[in-house]
A and B are shown apart, each in its own frame.
Chain A
Amino acid sequence: MALKGNLRDFSVTQLLNLINLARKTGTLTIEGPTEAAWVSFRDGKLIYAQLGNEDGTLVGILLRGGLVSARQARAIKTHASDKNDKELGLLLINAGYLVQQSILASIRQYFLDIVYKLFNWGEGFFRFDAGVLPPEGRITIRLNLENIIIEGSRRMREWEKLKDEVPNLEMALDFVERPGANIRDVNLNVEEWKVVSYVNPKNTIAQIAKANQMNDLEIRRVVYGLLHAGLVEVVRPDGMPIPARVKQFKPIDEGQRVSLVNRLIQRIRSL
């Protein structure tokens, strides 16, 4: 079924978080203010990205990354126009012209640059098409989204979003228990590690900020990244009084309550 909306309401960070946690396979199309982008995933990992009319073919990417000159790019295009990217990549490697690592690094960088750009799109329609993958001959990679979400959050310029997403600094953080989520696999910087080292239901986010001498925005940015990478969750701090239990219904004894609920169940079943 549909997974679509506007970035105003559901941000790129939230989308990547969703794709990551739900281990989705398919292509995300985003129509931004001036151009469109396509990002593909397999089992919740980034495999491919393409931006607007940019030349996203292997030659285009190599040219951009400075691995081939403009003239070489033209020559490849004329002489190897019948080859798809995978075949071309093999050809370049077998000819001893490029090594596999540098081709892959170049592709990875190209995809990442596109995705990081998306973090600053505050507006635009998005749609996720499950099962849709990039064209057959294209070279794909496999990148964990956790790292991308963290890095994307570092680069985010929209402060307003951060405020929205981490509204209450009086709440605490705790680690998420999720198979496959291991904080050690994620590339954290010093600031993020400092925050992580205080993650504990006993510490409010405000206290963590204070301990690390971080201001409101700095702490929000870090927490935002960790939250959306699915590594931590917001919890009620230990010791925070739970709101007084309002009287549920007239004080009656436990047995009577159970029988009352059972009567309700019987009645609703019979509706």
Chain B
Amino acid sequence: MQTVKMVVTGPFNAGKTAFIQAVSEIDVVSTERKISSEAERIKETTTVAMDFGRITVDDDLVLYLFGTPGQKRFDFMWEILSEGMLGFIVIVDSARPETFREAKSILETFRAYAPTPYVVAANKQDMPDAWDVEDLRIALRIDSKIKLLPCVAPDKESVKAILLELLYSILEEMNEK
């Protein structure tokens, strides 16, 4: 039995748990916790350790999706999580520019841990305040070679499309070598 993993990362409240939940065949493992600090109380629960989703491919291959905790004080988890990943997905809340700077810094950090392929998901595109994908590309200074894709995390088709794009990038990278 072989297992492979992908990491889903991004700032607090970007939609990482929703993303994994949309495609996981198991309930995303409950590492959610009620938020204690006032400052971060824009929603009821947050991910404190990691999300954990699973997609069984066949009898001897399983894909795990790991979500990083969104709050800063769990940074130490990242390095551990990034080890051995096939690729990663950075989720950005397109409607909250106050998180763009952090999204960019998370992206840079992960890229430094592992030079694996990655894609950026411009999440919450269904919200009226969402920034356009092309504006986000400039705002986050994302290289034109990197895929930046519109996303609505609770929508399974949207999540599938992003996972597929990441896999295509992984294939392309293999072919280059």
Q: List 11 A-B contacts (CB under 8 A).
A: A1-B130, A5-B97, A9-B99, A18-B135, A248-B85, A248-B86, A250-B2, A263-B57, A265-B164, A268-B55, A268-B164
Nearest CB in chain B to that of A243: its residue: B112
> For B114, what are the chain A residues with a Cβ–Cβ distance below 8 Å?
243, 245-246, 248
Q: Which of B40-48, B67-75, B167-175 contacts A (4 or more CB under 8 A)?
A: B167-175
> For B77, what are the chain A residues with a Cβ–Cβ distance below 8 Å?
none
Contact of B135 among A3, A242, A249, A267 (CB under 8 A): A3
B160 touches A14 (CB 8 A): no
B98 touches A9 (CB 8 A): yes
0/1 interface trace, chain A 244-271, chain B, CB 8 Å (1 if under):
0111111000100110111111011101
Contact of B61 among A9, A17, A242, A260 (CB under 8 A): A260
Q: Give Cα A5–Cα B129 distance, bound, in whole angstroms.
A: 9
Q: Give Cα A48–Cα B171 distance, bound, in whole angstroms.
A: 49
> For A18, what are the chain B residues with a Cβ–Cβ distance below 8 Å?
135, 138-139
Task: List 6 tightest A-B contacts by C-beta distance, closest first.
Answer: A5-B97, A9-B98, A267-B57, A2-B129, A18-B138, A10-B97
User: How many residues of B sit at the interface, in one of the four size bands?
Assistant: 35 or more
Is A202's beta carbon under 8 Å from chain B? no
A3-B135, A21-B138 provided; 19 other pairs, C-beta below 8 A? A1-B130, A1-B131, A2-B129, A3-B131, A5-B97, A9-B101, A10-B97, A10-B139, A14-B139, A22-B135, A245-B114, A246-B84, A248-B84, A248-B86, A260-B2, A263-B61, A265-B164, A271-B156, A271-B160
A2 touches B95 (CB 8 A): yes
A225 to chain B, nearest CB (A): 16
> For B61, what are the chain A residues with a Cβ–Cβ distance below 8 Å?
260, 263-264
Is B38's beta carbon under 8 Å from chain A? no
A2 touches B55 (CB 8 A): no
Is A6's beta carbon under 8 Å from chain B? yes
Q: Give Cα A267–Cα B6 distance, bound, in whole angstroms.
A: 15
Contact of A268 among B95, B116, B131, B167 (CB under 8 A): B167
A241 to chain B, nearest CB (A): 11
The chain B residues found within 8 Å of chain A, CB to CB, are 2, 4, 23, 55, 57-58, 61, 63, 82-86, 95, 97-101, 112-116, 128-132, 134-135, 138-139, 141, 156, 160, 163-164, 167-168, 170-171, 174, 177
> For B132, what are the chain A residues with a Cβ–Cβ distance below 8 Å?
1, 3
> For B170, what are the chain A residues with a Cβ–Cβ distance below 8 Å?
261
> For B85, what are the chain A residues with a Cβ–Cβ distance below 8 Å?
248
Q: Give Cα A150–Cα B167 distance, bound, in whole angstroms.
A: 41
Nearest CB in chain B to that of A258: its residue: B174
B138 touches A22 (CB 8 A): yes
A263 touches B130 (CB 8 A): no
Q: Give Cα A247–Cα B113 distance, bound, in whole angstroms.
A: 11
Known contacts A22-B135, A248-B84; is A261 also within 8 Å of B97 by CB? no
Nearest CB in chain A to that of B79: its residue: A246
Q: Give Cα A262–Cα B164 distance, bound, in whole angstroms.
A: 10
Q: Give Cα A202–Cα B174 distance, bound, in whole angstroms.
A: 28
A9 touches B100 (CB 8 A): yes
Is A142's beta carbon under 8 Å from chain B? no
